[in-house]
Amino acid sequence: MYLQFVESGGMVTLWYGLLTVQCTVAEFQTIEPSYPSLPPGIITRQWTPELSFLSNGWIQQPNTLDCRAYCLKISEYQQRLGHANRGVLAP
């Protein structure tokens, strides 16, 4: 099963198989309050089971945050996000 988590440009995008969820970082942190912001100077967090890194746009460094649990909760996120999985949180 394909799993991927990306934070970049103020957006979070998750893939689990054929399912995709995209929302702003602020919306994601509303659903997952413990999700940490990107470290200073970092513009991208990329995670797959095979490869995980942080990037400042030029240099990649290890990403120690395991995002698997977020990807596995994609159905919950789909239910909580409106407007085709993007936008305002549903009640």
Instruction: Say whether pLDDT at 49 is over 80.
Output: yes
What's the rounded Cα separation, in Å, for the pair 91 and 88? 9
Instruction: Say whether pLDDT at 4 is over 50.
Output: yes
For the chain, what percent of residues have pLDDT higher than 90?
80
Instruction: Say whether pLDDT at 32 is over 50.
Output: yes
User: In the chain, where are the structural domains located?
Assistant: 3-80
What's the rounded Cα separation, in Å, for the pair 75 and 14? 11
User: Within a 10 A sphere around the Cβ of 33, how many other Cβ atoms?
Assistant: 7
What's the rounded Cα separation, in Å, for the pair 78 and 62? 29
Instruction: Say whether pLDDT at 82 is over 80.
Output: no
Residue 28's closest CA among 69, 70, 72, 91?
70
